[in-house]
Structure 1
Amino acid sequence: MPDTMICRVFLLLAASLLLQGCVESQPTMLGASISGVNHTSAAINHFSVNGGGGPNIGPYGGGPGSQMCCAMLPVQWREGLTVVVEWEKDPSPHDYANWSEPLFSDAWSERMKGHQSKYTRHRAVVQVAPYKQLGLVTVHFLPCDQVKVSASPTYEGLSGHPYNFPRRMEVPSTCPTP
Structure 2
Amino acid sequence: MNVNYRNGRCMLWLLVLCLGLAACNGKPAKEPMTGVMLTGLDHLPDHLSVQHFTIDGTDGFQAGDGARVICCARIPIDWHEGLTAKVTWSVNNWRDCKGEHHEAIVLVTRYDHNPGHVYVHFLADGSVRVVPTSKTYLEPDYPGPHDAIPEKYPWEVWPPMQHCPQDFSDPNKIYM
Short-chain TM bin: 0.5 to 0.7
What does residue 55 of structure 2 align with?
49
Task: Give the partner amino acid of 1:135.
Answer: G
Rounded to whole Å, the distance in 1 between the matches of 2:141 and 2:118 is 14
Aligned-partner Cα distance in 2 for 1:32–1:72: 6
Q: Residue by residue, what CA displacement relative to the aligned partner does 1:91-131 show, whole Å, maximum 9, x if unpaired? A: 23xx4xxxxxxxxxxxxxxxxxxx6x611111111011111
Instruction: Return the letter of the residue paired with 1:38.
Output: D
Distance in 2 separating the partners of 1:20 and 1:120 = 42
* Structure 2 spans left out of the alignment, 5+ residues: 1-5, 151-176
Whole-Å separation in 1 of the counterparts to 2:120 and 2:84: 12
Q: CA RMSD in A?
A: 2.9
- How many Å apart are 1:33 and its aligned residue? 1.8
CA contact (8 A) 1:53 1:70 kept: no
Instruction: State the shift of 1:162 in Å.
Output: 1.2
Is 2:104 the partner of 1:124?
A: yes
Partners of 1:56 and 1:78 in 2: how far apart? 28
Q: Is the 8 A contact 2:37 2:70 kept in 1?
A: yes
- Partners of 2:143 and 2:58 lie apart in 1 by 22
Query: Once the two structures are superposed, what CA deviation does each residue of 1:58-103 show, in whole Å capped at 9, x if it has no partner?
Result: 5xxx21x3111332211111111100111111123xx4xxxxxxxx
Among candidates 110, 135, 138, match of residue 154 of structure 1: 135
Cα distance, 1:31 vs. partner?
2.5
- The AA in structure 2 aligned to 1:89 is V
What TM-score comes out, normalization by structure 2 length? 0.64
2:126 alignment counterpart: 145
Whether the aligned pair in 1 keeps the contact of 2:41 and 2:149 (CA below 8 Å) is no
Larger deviation, residues 66-75 vs 78-87: 66-75
Q: CA separation in 2, counterparts of 1:142 and 1:87?
A: 12
The alignment status of 1:78 with 2:58, answered yes or no, reads no
**Paired residues of 1:53 and 1:69 also in contact (CA < 8 A):** no
Compute the displacement of 1:164 (Å): 3.2
Percent of pairs with identical residues: 28
Runs (5+) with no aligned partner, structure 1: 96-114, 170-178
Give the aligned residue type for 1:120.
E
- Structure 1 residue 138, shift from structure 2 partner: 0.4
**From 30, 38, 43, the counterpart of 1:26:** 30
Q: Secondary structure at the match of 2:125?
A: helix
